[in-house]
Amino acid sequence: MKKAYIVGTCDTKYEELDYVRSLIRKAGVETVLVDVGIKPHDHPVDVPNSEVASFHPEDKDFLSTVKDRGEAVIAMSEAIIRFIPSRKDLGGIIGLGGSGGTSLVTSGMRQLPIGVPKIMVSTVASANVAPYVGPNDICMMYSVTDVAGINMISRKVLGNAAHALAGMIKETLPPFEGTREPLGMTMFGVTTPCVNMLREELEKEFDCLVFHATGTGGQSLEKLIDSGVMDHVIDVTTTEVCDLLMGGVFSAGEDRLGAVVRTGVPYVGSCGALDMVNFGAMDTVPEKFRDRNLYVHNPQVTLMRTTPEENEKMAKWIGRKLNQCSGPVRFLLPEKGVSMIDAEGMPFYDPEADEAFFRTLEETVGQTEDRKILRLPFHINDPEFVRALIESFREIHGI
């Protein structure tokens, strides 16, 4: 059995870390206590902070040279990013901390493969955890009280977290007996019919992994491509590019499509939900957009229809990415609408805006036998469009 790594700042959180360590040991799992604090202390640990610091790519002695606390924490984050993946006996990891400790420990957790147990008990776990979790399976547990001593609340919360990690490490999953290769797909509510038809058609041959295109969904898809786990992709829903370029809340960042470029995986994509930028509740929509075509998707999500000019901008951005792809590319354009509400009679129906995207993408992409932009006289959720996606997928994979 591999070991449970307990990671935290032992100069400030030793009592809590040691409590977690004792419970995991009692549960029958060996432990490794890793100190990522920046101040000296006399507490017994398994991996001192100096050993972690030695993994810094430049200043391996920063604990004795850096005087500013903030700079030292940043340096320790850079060190733990390299330290954690080097541990061959790591079976799972748990961290405790406030905002600084959470940022520090999760930076190391994010380097581990999906499936390795990761638990972060944090004072900020009830707020926006996207910066800490990213496209990773980190379990964030709210500490309720501050991580400052063992009290009637913290003993229960920390105890549950400790036992959870012990159980994750001890109880192995049944072996996966399937032989289907993974196939990544991207979906939004407004492209669900298309993706459901794709999945139903292909799931007998492939293990279909559907990613919700909410920013972290696209990042998760990209991470699996980068890690070599997945080389089959039907990227129907590229809507995260809208939010990246227009300031919406579901951006996947500048590296969207980056893994496709880096790895050269065969790529089938489309412009699903490029008709919309996502904001929160109506009162969160920026003032400069209040006179635009807005659609209340639900009380927490307001959609803004993209203009022809914005579609040209997105087409240029996507086109430049596609031009960098070394693997085969098929990008399909549904001329009758790119989402459920971009159809005749629906609130975002705007053929002029869609055409601006189609035309600009065709002008931007350097088309070859391996890199093709395909126009089709269908709506994105039409069965005929789904069949065209599958035909392109089979063509570039030779299946």
Give ∠ CA 106-110-115 in degrees, rounded to 5. Answer: 115
Domains of the chain (ranges plus CATH)?
3-170 (3.40.50.12020), 181-397 (3.40.50.12030)
Instruction: Walk along the chain (399 residues) and give the pLDDT tens digit of each residue.
Output: 899 999 999 999 999 999 999 999 999 999 999 999 998 899 999 999 999 999 999 989 899 888 788 888 899 999 999 999 999 999 999 999 998 899 999 999 999 988 999 999 999 998 889 889 988 999 999 999 988 889 999 999 999 999 999 999 999 888 777 778 999 999 999 999 999 999 999 999 999 999 999 998 999 999 899 988 899 999 999 999 999 999 999 999 999 999 999 999 999 999 999 999 999 999 999 999 999 999 998 888 999 999 999 999 999 999 999 999 999 999 999 999 999 999 999 999 999 999 999 999 999 999 999 999 999 999 999 999 999 999 999 999 998
In this structure, what is the dihedral angle of CA atoms 35, 110, 4, 176, given to the nearest 10 degrees?
-170
| pTM across the whole model | 0.79
Q: How far apart are CA 85 and CA 107, in angstroms?
A: 11
Burial class (CB in 10 A: 0-12, 13-18, 19+), 118: buried
Longest C-alpha distance within the chain, in Å? 72
Residues 6+ apart with CB under 8 A from 136: 109, 110, 112, 114, 118, 220, 223
